[in-house]
Structure 1
Amino acid sequence: MMAALGWPLRDFAVHLHRSGASLAFVAPEDQLLTATEINEWAWQGVAVNTAQFPWPQAPGYPAVWDEEAAVRTLRLMARGEANAAAIALMQAAKAHELPAFFDDDGLTLGAGEGGLTWPNDALPAEVPWRELHDIPTVLVTGSNGKTTTVRLLAAMFRKAGKRSGFNCTDGVFVGGECVESGDYSGPNGARRVLRDARVQAAVLETARGGILRRGLAVHRADAAIVTNISPDHFGEYGVHDLSDLADAKLVLARAIGEDGVLVLNADDALLLEKSAKLTCPLAWFSLDDNHPHLVAHRRHGGATCGVADGVLTLEIRGIRYRLGPVDAMPLTLSGSARYNIANIAGAALVAACLGLSAEVIAAVLAGFGASREDNPGRLERWRIGDVSVLLDYAHNPEGLSGLLTVARSVGASTGGRLGLLLGQAGNRDDGAIRELARTAAAAGPDFVVLKDLDGYMRGRAIGEVPGILRDELLRHGLPETNLRTILPEVEAAQAMLAWARAGDVVVLPVHNLAARAQVVTWLDAQVVDTR
């Protein structure tokens, strides 16, 4: 079929996995919709041959049962998509060592303040190449800590005098302003950042789903970071175990050239193992500055960041910098939020590798997190009367475990009870949902309210996920009297506060943006009412 369209027959990849097979191939950048139709046509052909699915009947799509007709249909599709002028301009941009982005929104040459965008039907005959340039670009991925790391890096760029733009699960932000709200942690959000003419430095959250569905938003980046790898999203897009997940996230390495750097977590054994096959420059961070891998990396002139005697310590180009006591950094909550110490170390190392000064980095770390506006939805804290409330995005067992450790630390001085709001997205399999419940049970909560995640049902029936969580909590010894099911997220959060008494700690993992906004507004009102 590709030969019939005149496409090059090269770079095919077939990935066989537990739930089926994935096919990938190279196609012209101006005919990617046609490429997806070819992919689906090939898949349907196999499915029909094995009598697993009926023939598709939708008009206008390539016919599985008639190859000649399919060729005619796909040729028409390709002809309708083809944009020779865009291809020529992208090739010229490559010759000028400039990024180029082409999609339905238009063609962009350069990036941020150094970029220009044209509609696809009004491409320029002449391009002001001397006016165009790239901007510092960072890719951020990992199982946990992506958004916090993105926000830290954006704050560091701002402190260094550069107007930063970033995308994350909360939206697209430029210079502190939210320009789009929603989950923009994929290529669409990244391109919105890179096309904004105000942006002088781009920090791009790069989630697993976007990588597997659409790839990276950029061909090159100055730096990238993988915060960690932990079990999550198994069963989607051929990812069935940690090794698969690590391979997906380490696709970022392909965007790093000889003058860039990939920052990795040395406390993650799988990243240590996978790094042996990487060819791009690396830098390493750890909770322990004396981690053997950091010591060895420094011995060979590499950059590292870790904690030495309670002080975050950076070494780059052979010079060591003390960035400050971690217990004094607001984001660490007096050192109890160890996962945020890791996020801080990783972000500091990326910033240093990009040339930001140790003074700028230390200044940001000394204040970031003191205000809830610094990192909304991540370890936000309220004191309502004598009840401590923690609101977070924890969405997998490792994230929840870290959050509950912080909660126990907060409650240690009061001897109060622990209350937990618990839910999970419907696209996790039953085993993953039960693992989240086991993590919750291990913390010994005194009260658990089970909820649905509005907007994240993803094929599950109403109340189905809370039912699985409830069953697993009961199996692990939580009394039925300590469990309550309230499906709407906001009502569930309010019930937690109604249960709480002086000295208690209430943990609210809230994931839906609209629900979070309502909960935050309500919590703010409770603080006012108790003064």
Structure 2
Amino acid sequence: TLFRSVTDIIHPDNITLAERSAQTIGLKVAGIDFITPDISRSWKEIGGGICEINASPGLRPHWIGNPERNVVTPIFNTIFPEGENGRIPIALITGSNGKTTTTRMVDHILRAAGHISGCVTTDGITINGEEILQGDVAGAGGAELVLREPTVTAASLESSRGGLLKRGIYTKKCDVAAILNVDNDHIGIDGIESLDQMASLKRNIIETATKKIILNAEDERCLKMSYDFPVEKVILFSMKQDAEGLKKHRNSGGTIVTLEQTKNKESIVIEVNGKTSKIIATDNIPATFKSLVRHNITNALAAAALGYGMEINLKTIAEGLKNFTPTLKDSSGRFNVIDDLPVRCLFEFAHNTPAIETTLKSIPNFTKKGSNICAFTCPGNRPDEHFDNFAKSFAGHFDKYICFERVEWRRGHKEGDISKRFAEALMKYGVSNDNIMQCPTQNEAMNVAANIAKTDDLIAIFGTDARYSLPQIRSAFKKLQTLLERM
């Protein structure tokens, strides 16, 4: 006959070579043209090799060679394994503040569970912890890149307000979804005029969850949403074990994630059907800086709830949170404390009033004996009252202020407009003009900060990504040191 089936006599070494060749070029199904004197003997023994790999192999020769063999079913079972639906576990995270850090924490939990995790945030995309794209892609564009990646086995996706407004929900279903909070940010922009409208926009995320919905029991709008879903589907989290919404949910048989204090040890715990289980002590989570950075404990509560909702065991959730560090690699721009410069520097992306006020509560734990210097900015497209509230939050917390602008954040403002508005607002709230400096660019602000700082001072930099501002201030200190050495 023209074709003869040799499937049952192929030597294992030849099978391995063919499989590895297909895997190398990323094919699950491939037609391998193998030249050898005897397919039943190893290519290592008698020679031979592959001359062609077909991405769309023809099956007809195999049917002709052995009409009794079922060729199609094994191929389908490889592509669509029995019991699987072709989907990967997906977590969607939204909110006004904390969503980037929470998304990254979930990414670490997924990787601790053995997944090749795709993570999308307003800072970029990582696949299995490796950055493949920088920039704000927390929407449909970033999600599509991750969900199309064939190696990804689970995804943690931040969903920003802008992404939802521009392209809406980008997946029909997800396993778990969380709304962390609904705060006063982006109100008055793009048609969102109230907190209730913002809550309605973010609610679209949790409507897609098939397993669990995670909500903040301390946020009145999140708590209100929880009543619209079956109690068994909702997981509430709260820093306060006795929060009213938490107690009601617990008494109704709902699952909660909260804090428990025992023998001077604070731990994240989960309560399911009246049974309390410890997940991890808060001081064992590096991002909390030994429990000093309280807002990252809140983020860890949400991440733990999301992990549990994805049916990951508590030990693995704890491992993921332990692996998440407040470094530039794991958590760029989110409370990064840098101590290898002449002066301690703290980088924090927070650029709305609630986030600023939350972060300021942790700042005293990191000050030294000297002065506290604050450099800050925010996007120029915020409503007028935002600039005033921003300055009001900062006033009185620092000794010196550097108001600066990011060129890409001017958004219609002329050079100097934003820094001037901040300076005027600071003076309105009692800050002396002598302690306020204005800079038209971020780089100039880093130079000014380095020049005015002294040993034991703290420089806190808000509204910037440390991946860019840290090299700038490092360069400024280096130039200053070179200048001093020449004097």
| Shorter-normalised TM range | 0.7 to 0.9
The residue number in structure 1 matching 2:315 is 359
TM-superposed deviation, 1:510: 4.1
The residue number in structure 1 matching 2:10 is none
CA RMSD of aligned residues (A): 2.9
TM-superposed deviation, 1:302: 1.9
* Structure 1 runs (4+) greater than 6 angstroms displaced: 113-116, 523-526
Counterparts of 1:268 and 1:522, CA distance in 2: 42
Aligned ranges 1:193-232 → 2 under 5 Å: 193-232=146-185
Counterparts of 1:207 and 1:159, CA distance in 2: 25
> Structure 2 regions of 5+ residues with no counterpart?
1-25, 30-71, 81-85, 483-487
Q: Which amino acid aligns with 2:394?
A: A
Counterparts of 2:392 and 2:307, CA distance in 1: 37
Tell me the matched-pair count.
404
- 1:268 equivalent to 2:224? Answer no
- 1:300 equivalent to 2:252? Answer yes
Query: Which one of the candidate residues 377, 393, 405 is aligned to 1:439?
Result: 393
The residue number in structure 2 matching 1:148 is 101
- 1:408 equivalent to 2:369? Answer no
Counterparts of 1:524 and 1:267, CA distance in 2: 43
Larger relative contact order (Cα-Cα within 8 Å, sequence gap ≥ 6) = 2
Q: Check 1:390–1:523 CA distance in 2 against 1; reply closer, same or farther (3 A cut).
A: farther
The residue number in structure 2 matching 1:459 is 412
Counterparts of 1:335 and 1:323, CA distance in 2: 15
Q: What is the SS of the residue equivalent to 1:506?
A: strand
Q: Check 1:371–1:212 CA distance in 2 against 1; reply closer, same or farther (3 A cut).
A: closer
TM-superposed deviation, 1:315: 2.2
- 1:498 equivalent to 2:445? Answer no
Query: Which one of the candidate residues 172, 182, 203 is aligned to 2:135?
Result: 182
Aligned ranges 1:339-488 → 2 under 5 Å: 339-369=295-325, 371-384=327-340, 387-411=343-367, 414-441=368-395, 443-488=396-441
- 1:244 equivalent to 2:197? Answer yes
TM-score normalised to structure 2 length:
0.77
The residue number in structure 2 matching 1:285 is 237
TM-superposed deviation, 1:388: 2.1
- 1:322 equivalent to 2:278? Answer yes
TM-superposed deviation, 1:305: 0.9
Asked if 2 retains the 8 angstrom alpha-carbon contact of 1:114 and 1:134, the reply is no
Counterparts of 1:385 and 1:504, CA distance in 2: 11
Q: What is the SS of the residue equivalent to 2:359?
A: helix
> Structure 1 regions of 5+ residues with no counterpart?
1-112, 117-125
Q: Which amino acid aligns with 2:388?
A: R
Aligned-pair identity (%): 27
TM-superposed deviation, 1:377: 1.5
Counterparts of 2:316 and 2:478, CA distance in 1: 35
Counterparts of 1:341 and 1:523, CA distance in 2: 34
Q: Check 1:466–1:278 CA distance in 2 against 1; reply closer, same or farther (3 A cut).
A: farther
Between 502-511 and 190-199, the greater mean CA deviation after superposition: 502-511
Q: Check 1:520–1:227 CA distance in 2 against 1; reply closer, same or farther (3 A cut).
A: farther
Counterparts of 1:359 and 1:336, CA distance in 2: 23
Superposed CA offset, 1:110-146 (max 9, x none): xxx9999xxxxxxxxx9x8762500000101011111
Q: Check 1:365–1:229 CA distance in 2 against 1; reply closer, same or farther (3 A cut).
A: same
TM-superposed deviation, 1:512: 5.4
The residue number in structure 2 matching 1:104 is none
TM-score normalised to structure 1 length:
0.71
TM-superposed deviation, 1:524: 10
Asked if 2 retains the 8 angstrom alpha-carbon contact of 1:489 and 1:515, the reply is no
TM-superposed deviation, 1:296: 2.7
Asked if 2 retains the 8 angstrom alpha-carbon contact of 1:316 and 1:352, the reply is no
Counterparts of 2:438 and 2:180, CA distance in 1: 34
Larger Rg over CA atoms: 2
Superposed CA offset, 1:491-514 (max 9, x none): 212321322222222111243587
Q: Check 1:242–1:210 CA distance in 2 against 1; reply closer, same or farther (3 A cut).
A: same
Asked if 2 retains the 8 angstrom alpha-carbon contact of 1:329 and 1:368, the reply is yes
Q: What is the SS of the residue equivalent to 1:455?
A: helix
